[in-house]
Structure formats: C-alpha cells, structure tokens
Amino acid sequence: MARRLLVAALAVAMTIIAVMSSAAAETGSWHHVPVPAQVRPQAGLNEAVAFGPDRAWAVGADAVGREAPGFPLLLRWDGTAWQRQSLPGKGWQGELLSIAAASPTAAWAVGRDSAGGARLLRFDGTAWSESRPPSGVRLTRAAAGGGETWLIGSRDGAQVLLRWDRHGWRDVPVPPGAVYGLHVKAADDVWAAGDTNSGAAVSHWNGQEWKQTIVDGFPRSGVSSVLAVSDTEVWAGGTAGFVGGPVGKPIPPLLVRWDGTAWNKVAVPTDFGAISSLSPSASGDLGWVSVARSQKFGPPGSYPPLVPGPDFLAWNGQAFTPYGEPAVAGEGESSTLRLAPVPGSETVWSVGRAEGPGGTFAPRILRFG
C-alpha cells in the first residue's frame, strides 16, 4: 500500500511539473539582450545562426554613415554575453549580409565591401578565414541544411544560385523570377521563396530541376522566407501587395501553407507588415513567425487609425499567439526581425535593427526562452 501511494504521489508530482512547464512556456516573453560596448553607434544586424545554448553568431555592420559605408560586424554568443569578434585578413569597410551553417564546424558568412565586391568568410569550428568568392558574383544570402550550403547572388545582372560541393562553388539552375530565401533540407530537397511577374512563388528542387508554384496570384506579392516541415507541410511568408492608395500606405503580410494538395492563405493577427522570417520549433514544425513593421487597425473612430501590431507569432499547431518586442530605453521599434532557433530547445533569437535617437538606428538582439 505504501509503495502504491508513493507511485501515485510521484505521478501527481510529475503531472504538476509538466503543467507548470507548459504554462511557463505559454506565458514566456521576449527579452532584450545588449550588444557589446565595442559596437559603435549607427549599427544593425542582418542575420544570426545558433548551434546551441552557448554558441551563436550574428552579422551586420556598424558605424554606417558615420564612417561611411561602415564596417563589417561579427558577434559571438558564449552562453553569457555577446562578444565582438575580429575579422580575418586586413581591415575592410562594408557589411556582412548573411550567415548560415551546415554544422558547428562549417559556417559561412557573405557580405560586400565598399567597392561592391563580394566577401566570403568561412568558419571551421575554431577560427574564421577569408575564402575566395565565386568569380564575378555579388553575394546576398547564404543558406545551409542537411549537410548542404547554398549561396544566392547575381552575375552580370542575372540572379545565380551556387552550391558547395566540398571542392568549390557550382552553379545551380535558377527558377523563373527572383529568389529571396532558401530552405535547404538535402541536395535533392531545396525550397526557394520568391516572386515572378505572376505573383509570389515557391519552387522545389529535386536535384535535377525546379518545380515552381504561384502561391499568391497578385502581381505585386512575394515571399522571402520558406520553411519545409514535410512533403505535406510547407510554409512561406512575405507581403501580399495591393494596387491603389496613397504612397507609403502599409502593405498586408502574406502567409501561405502547403497541405500536400494546395497552397492556402493563413490568417495572421495583424493587418499590415512583412513576414520577415519563419523559425522551426524543437520538433521541426513551424514555431515562430516574425512580422517586421507590424500594424493593425485600432478601434473604430480612433486616431491614428493604425496601432502597433504583434512582432512575433507563436504557432501551436492550431493557432497563433501574438507577442510584442520589449521596450528598450532610448530606442524605438525594430524595422527588421530575423529569427535564429537554438537546436534542440524552444529558445529563439531575433536580430535586426531598431530606430535610434535623432533619426539614427541601433542594433537589436532579442531572445525568447
């Protein structure tokens, strides 16, 4: 009898702990994490990648406009604080645009210098080094996954996609229109987000060719982020676009989902803004959606008619829970939000840039979990 009571008590205790953990996750919030003091004013971050709770990288530029065109910025998270990292080679002015990692020992960062030339950095798990960029290519984004690394860029005014084959960068055919983002799952399983003259487009690479689908037929719509959960669940986000209205009128966000049969629009709890990033949960399902410059209609008759909307949307498989970014003293709202999940956990980073005092801008790092 005593043993049965002990087992029952343990079961009840475990249930209470599970409920408390679930409630804590649901009531979590985003927190501001400061950048290193060495980062100069007028700085911004473009992208981040995380390998674990004590390993993450973020890239961008600082002193932009003050010492035009600024200097490339590379930050490292050591589990306690972000630290500025020195760059390999001789100092150069410019910006780091994107970072991606196929593994903790194989990361790539792309950028451009003040002369418009491509810059490509490689991390081997110990140190960063300069790598020769593909000849004649201006690089804009890097993407990695499934042991693969791909680059987005342009050559002679035409867009190019390149794949690392362990010996060098090899051109891959480009789907019609423009590609803004990639989700790389394997050499024969790559998803591309972009647009064409016919509207927002998502394309799938099977190792031999692209199959493209127009996911929103409005000519001015486009998607810049794509997340493939499985063959029967793919998400893509961007902006819907519209015709008419005054110049500067905000644009509605666009979120679409593939269910194995068709692409369908998914309603989000905000009226305007751009879906700038999609992030998986620890299980690989959709976990978070970020909305840059999010706005929604205020109560009828209110002025101004638009009020700030949610910056982040947490997906639980059925519905979205909206979250706002925390207020930061002396700074305004973020203008860009790029998500970087921490593998094996529910922790997520967001990096970007925010409004600074006197018309300036400042780097912004946020963390959930």
| HEC letters along the chain | CHHHHHHHHHHHHHHHHHHHHHHHHHCCCEEECCCCCCCCCCCEEEEEEEEECCEEEEEEEECCCCCCCCEEEEEEECCCCEEECCCCCCCCCEEEEEEEEEECCEEEEEEEECCCCEEEEEECCCCEEEECCCCCCEEEEEEEECCEEEEEEEECCEEEEEEECCCCEEEECCCCCEEEEEEEEECCEEEEEEEECCEEEEEEECCCCEEEEEEECCCCCEEEEEEEEECCEEEEEEECCCCCCCCCCCCCEEEEEECCCCEEECCCCCCEEEEEEEEECCCCCEEEEEEEEEEEECCCCCCCCEEECCCEEEECCCCEEEECCCCCCCCCCECCCEEEECCCCCCEEEEEEEECHHHCEEEEEEEEC
Give yes or no for residue 113 having a pLDDT over 60: yes
- The type of residue at 182 is L
Dihedral sign computed on CA atoms, order 128, 131, 134, 135: positive
Which pair of structure tokens corresponds to residue 76? 């490292």
Task: Read off the pLDDT of residues 224-268 as tens digits, 9 standing for 90 and up.
Answer: 999 999 999 999 999 998 766 556 678 999 999 999 999 999 999
- Closest among 239, 302, 234 to 275, alpha carbons compared: 239
Q: What percent of the chain has pLDDT over 70?
A: 91
Higher pLDDT, 77 or 220: 77
pLDDT the model gives residue 359: 85
Q: Is residue 79 a contact partner of residue 50, using CB atoms and an 8 Å limit? A: no
Q: What percent of the chain has pLDDT over 90?
A: 81
pLDDT the model gives residue 245: 59
Task: Read off the pLDDT of residues 62-106 as tens digits, 9 standing for 90 and up.
Answer: 999 877 789 999 999 999 999 999 988 778 999 999 999 999 999
- Chain-centre distance of CA 160, in angstroms? 21
Residues in the chain: 369
Mean pLDDT of 156-166: 96
Mean pLDDT of 175-187: 97
Cα gap 278→340, rounded to integer Å = 9
Distances, alpha carbon 259 to alpha carbons 178, 232, 234, 266, in Å: 24, 5, 7, 12
Q: Which residues pair with 32 in a beta bridge?
A: 366
Higher pLDDT, 343 or 12: 343
pLDDT the model gives residue 249: 73
pLDDT the model gives residue 219: 83
- pLDDT band with cut points at 50, 70 and 90 for residue 7: very low
Least-confidence region, from 183-187, 262-266, 353-357: 353-357
Least-confidence region, from 9-23, 203-217, 281-295, 317-331: 9-23
Mean pLDDT of the residues in the chain: 90
Residue 48: count other Cβ atoms within 10 Å of its Cβ. Answer: 23
Distances, alpha carbon 74 to alpha carbons 44, 48, 95, 96, 114, in Å: 11, 10, 10, 8, 17
Kindly report the backbone phi and psi dihedral angles of residue 24, in degrees, each rounded to the nearest multiple of 5, phi listed first: -65, -40
- The type of residue at 159 is Q
pLDDT the model gives residue 22: 37
Which pair of structure tokens corresponds to residue 44? 């911004």
Cα gap 312→45, rounded to integer Å = 18
Mean pLDDT of 339-361: 94
- Closest among 230, 259, 366 to 311, alpha carbons compared: 366
The angle subtended at Cα 184 by Cα 180 and Cα 186, nearest 5°, is 150
Mean pLDDT of 290-317: 93
Which pair of structure tokens corresponds to residue 5? 């009571």
pLDDT the model gives residue 13: 39
Give yes or no for residue 125 having a pLDDT over 50: yes
Placement of tokens 């789907």 in the chain:
175
Q: Which residues pair with 150 in a beta bridge?
A: 143, 163
Kindly report the backbone phi and psi dihedral angles of residue 79, in degrees, each rounded to the nearest multiple of 5, phi listed first: 100, -15
Distances, alpha carbon 196 to alpha carbons 133, 201, 216, 277, in Å: 28, 7, 10, 20
Give yes or no for residue 301 having a pLDDT over 60: yes
Least-confidence region, from 20-29, 107-116, 143-152: 20-29
Residue 87: count other Cβ atoms within 10 Å of its Cβ. Answer: 20
